[in-house]
Amino acid sequence: MTVTRADTPLRRFVADYLTSPLAVVAGLGLAVIVLLAVFAGQIAPQNPYDLGQITIFDGSLPPGELGFEGFRFWLGSDEQGRDMLSAMIYGLRISLFVSFVAVGSAVLIGLGLGLLAAWRGGSIEAIVMRTVDIQLSFPALLVALLLLAALGKGVDKVIIALILVQWAYFARTVRAAALVEIKKDYVMAARAAALPQWRILFGHVLPNVMPPVLVIATVQIANAIAIEASLSFLGVGVPITEPSLGLLIANGFDYLLSGRYWISFYPGVALLITLVCINLVGDHVRDILNPRMQS
């Protein structure tokens, strides 16, 4: 008689995830991208922000060319002589850093406020949800744009703007899911048994609220990356000293019309691939978690 391993939710999740080869490929791609970003210093052939390493004689070289000192610019160089490949890897790091931190914080805030609203109800819930509604009726990009116009440039300010723009999504989802959970019998029983509120909230309500949050989080990470890129492109995002992929693309705009497309093209492709991977992963995660959520 064979003994089957315990079927934990995590194992089921992994097993379900593996059913889509496309999502697996996307997931692996994402892992590679994250690794690239984390180990940028070790992987990138050149540190493009070390002024000692670049020279203007290497400026605007097309992809594949050899530079002044024999360094091969696989994806070309920009007008300052910076290696596009390296700039992209560092830019990836900034883009990912900003969005992960922003979304992570937004999740925490959203969790806190959403659980609070659902648990306490009454006027607290009304205030929180009205704020959420008003916030959500305006497009994120616009709010972020205007915020940054007031606050100025800087990585930290971009993160703050993104957090302010995204927390509402999470708060709403968390509250809706928490409400469903709180109305269930076992929570009422736990309350009747005078279990401490912490136990109920964190031990029972929270784990059941996480699946939809996870789904939204993947979408929002993609969103955050896209918004940050757009903001940087428009000139109100990250500063020139810490360029994200969006800023790199902006830099290349002027050279586009003269045919030096690579300065904008390759960072854009990198951005595209990152977002496609995140979206594919997010779609698949949502498909897996959905029927389960209804059960």
Partner 1 sequence: MLAYLIRRFSQAIFVMAVMATIVFFGLYAVGNPVDLLINPEADLAEQEATMRRLGLDRPVHVQFGYFLNGLMQGDLGTSFVHNRPALELILSRLPATLELAFLGILIAVGLGVPLGMIAGLRPEAPYSKLIMAGSVVGFSTPNFWQGLMLIMFFAVFLGWLPAGGRGDTIDVLGIPVSFLTWDGLSHLILPAVNVAIFKMSLVIRLTRAGTSEVALQDYVKYARARGLSPRRVIGVHILKNILIPVVTVLGLETGNVIAFAVVTETVFAWPGIGKLLIDSIGLLDRPVVVAYLMLTVFLFVMINLIVDIGYSLLDPRVRIKGDKA
Q: In the range 138-157, which residues lie near partner 1 by CB under 8 A?
A: 138-139, 141-142, 145-146, 149-150
Q: Is 67 helix (H, G, I), strand (E, B) or coil?
A: coil
User: Closest approach of Cβ 152 to partner 1, in Å?
Assistant: 10
Q: Per-residue DSSP letters for 152-214?
A: -S-HHHHHHHHHHHHHHHHHHHHHHHHHHHHTSHHHHHHHHTT--HHIIIIIIIHHHHHHHHH
The smaller minimum CB distance to partner 1, of residues 17 and 265, is found at 265
Instruction: For the CB of residue 15, give the shortest distance to partner 1 in the complex, in Å.
Output: 23
List the structure tokens of 55: 């020279």
Site track 226-245 with partner 1 (rule: CB under 8 A), x = hit: x--xx--xxxx---------
The SS3 assignment for 29 reads helix
Query: Does the protein bind partner 1 through residue 271 (CB under 8 A)?
Result: yes
DSSP 242: S
Q: Which listed range, 133-141, 155-163, 172-180, 199-207, lies at the site for partner 1 (CB under 8 A)?
A: 133-141
Give helix then strand counts, H and E, for the chain. 12, 2
* Distance separating alpha carbons of residues 20 and 149, to the nearest angstrom: 43
Residue-level length of the chain: 295
Query: Among 256, 286, 289, 293, which residue sits at the site for partner 1 (rule: CB under 8 A)?
Result: 256
Which of 76, 81, 243, 246 touches partner 1 (CB under 8 A)?
A: 246
| Nearer to partner 1 (CB atom), residue 104 or residue 235 | 235
| Residue 28 interacts with partner 1 (CB under 8 A): yes or no | no
Distance in Å, CB of 279 to partner 1, minimum: 5
Distance, CA of 48 to CA of 291 (rounded, Å) = 47
Q: Is the CB of residue 98 less than 8 Å from the CB of residue 159?
A: yes
- Mask: binding to partner 1, 275-294, rule CB under 8 A, as x and -? xx-xxx--x-----------
- State the angle between helix axes of 262-294 and 245-256 in degrees (0 to 180), rounded to the nearest 10: 140
Residue 253 in contact with partner 1, rule: CB under 8 A? yes
Q: Does 164 bind partner 1 (CB under 8 A)?
A: no
The residues of the shown chain that bind partner 1, judged by CB under 8 A, are 134, 137-139, 141-142, 145-146, 149-150, 222, 226, 229-230, 233-236, 246, 249, 252-253, 256-257, 259, 261, 264-265, 268, 271-272, 275-276, 278-280, 283
